[in-house]
Amino acid sequence: MLMDKLEVQLGALQRRCIDLKIPVVILFEGLDVSGKGVQISKLVHSMDPRWFQVYPMKQEAEAEAMRPFLWRYWNKLPKDGEISIFDYSWYHAVTSEVFRKKEMEHDPKVLRQEINEFERQIVDGGTCLIKLYLLIEHDEQYARMRALGESKSTSWRVTPEEMRRNEEYDAYTRLVDEVLTETDTEFARWNPIAATDRRYATVKIYQTIIRAIEKQIDEVLKKADQAEKKKKIDTTKIGESILATVDLTKKLEEEEYRKKLNKLQKKIQKLHGQLYRRRIPVIIGFEGWDAGGKGGAIRRLTQKMDPRGYAVHPVAAPTDIEKVHHYLWRFWTKVPKNGHVAVFDRTWYGRVLVERIEGFCTRKEWKRAYREINEMEASFVEEGAIVLKFWLHVDKDEQERRFIERQTTPEKQWKITDEDWRNREKWDEYEVAVNEMIEKTSTPHAPWVIVEGNNKYYARIKVLETVINAIEKRLESEDKK
């Protein structure tokens, strides 16, 4: 009777989540044989199957192993209104895998920190995150394992590794305790579930989830109420502008450019092969004024690289699928495999540039983005990536000259639109945003490089040289190890 009521309630709440476009993530973690599988089946019983997906995450595929730790989870985050249920989750790596004391690819301390950052980011982004940990006692665990082991049809379900965790129950649960304590944050609380009694556990799980979703719905409705936000645009004076100090007179003559270009492209071709063999991923972001020369610089950068080892991602307005995900999702899903190069023509910095200026996100959202972006880039670097960001800088006169050239050259007309002229009118607002961006997101591990772009030859060579230097530095430091 109670269960019937809870099922109806959860079914109705799922419908509300769809209407209100709330993405829900439910983690099932727990001790071995605590019954996660059964509980997940009971849970989805009441749900509309078109709007949830269960992900068994115990094993990692090769494509996943070749990318940052959190990549596989970012890929499986729900769209707005959907529910993703994880059977095992990002906690597997910091509990079972640590306990196994196997050669860890990652430092567990760093992973825990990344986990906390990740959870904060998705919760801040509007996800209803529900973390469940199923607990059973030592004796009960032993009894269940024995029962499974006795029947031929179920004995495969208990591995020697699981038996060992039962033998060392105290030590293992101490580790779990420690992890749960450290990741029990104000934005993502843990819900321990006593799972010895299965019926009791089911009720408890339903109640926990119902309460969490109800709370989220309340918050969403409250926010919608206050929604008459004044999209205040920041036009604080430019102050100490980093951009203002850029020396735009730097230039290169054509002959010298051709010579250097040829030499540098050959060099990067060779380095690209070394990156591949050493499995080092490279992430390069390009931002800059319209007509700043991004396209040309990217072309020269990649031209001689082996095309099987790099991809260029043009970033425009988000597609409808991207719109119903966290704003960082579309970049996470494009993280290169180890040994590959990903070049982004415009980047995740759109959040603090165009989205800020045009009011496509709230002030609170873009303010928060600096930290989130720094965290994301740090994750990439932590996994061994080289991360570089270029701001292609030209002055306003040069931009105008190029716009006019584009309009009057038939082959270039496709490059210029009315929107470019409109953006130009907001030059000062952008300058404020760019300065703040560079100030807040230029980190030692992922520095901004401002490229003096009035002279295209100079700019292209600077980009190539910067990338080459970063790769060489990295290869040297690996050699020393």
Residue with smaller CB distance to a copy of itself, 348 or 366: 348
Taking alpha carbons only, the member of 379, 314, 377 closest to residue 347 is 314
Residue with smaller CB distance to a copy of itself, 62 or 170: 62
Single-letter amino acid code for the residue at 180: L
Q: CB of residue 326 vs a copy of itself: minimum separation in angstroms?
A: 17
Single-letter amino acid code for the residue at 54: V
DSSP designation for 317: S
Tokens at 24, concatenated: 């829900």
* Pairing label, strands 83-87, 52-56: parallel
Q: CB of residue 343 vs a copy of itself: minimum separation in angstroms?
A: 7
Sheet holding 386-393, edge to edge: 310-314, 341-345, 282-288, 386-393, 448-452
**404: exposed, middle or buried (Cβ count in 10 Å: 0-12, 13-18, 19+):** exposed
Residues near a copy of itself, by CB under 8 A = 12, 15, 19, 37, 40-41, 44-45, 48-56, 61-63, 85, 87, 295, 298-299, 302-304, 306-308, 310-314, 319-321, 343, 345, 411, 414
Q: Which residue in this structure is represented by tokens 């819900």? A: 191
CA 29 to chain centre: 22
Q: Which residue in this structure is represented by tokens 């309340």? A: 218
Rg of the Cα trace of the chain? 26
Residue with smaller CB distance to a copy of itself, 185 or 303: 303
CA 306 to chain centre: 27
Q: CB of residue 277 vs a copy of itself: minimum separation in angstroms?
A: 10
Q: How far from each other are the two terminal CA atoms of the chain, in whole angstroms?
A: 64
DSSP SS3 for 117: helix
Residue with smaller CB distance to a copy of itself, 40 or 242: 40
Q: CB of residue 406 vs a copy of itself: minimum separation in angstroms?
A: 14
Residue with smaller CB distance to a copy of itself, 327 or 366: 327
Q: Which residue in this structure is represented by tokens 């469940």? A: 132
Q: CB of residue 233 vs a copy of itself: minimum separation in angstroms?
A: 28
Residue with smaller CB distance to a copy of itself, 48 or 428: 48
Residue with smaller CB distance to a copy of itself, 53 or 173: 53
Residue with smaller CB distance to a copy of itself, 130 or 179: 130
Taking alpha carbons only, the member of 390, 303, 286, 388 closest to residue 344 is 286
Q: CB of residue 54 vs a copy of itself: minimum separation in angstroms?
A: 4
DSSP SS3 for 56: strand
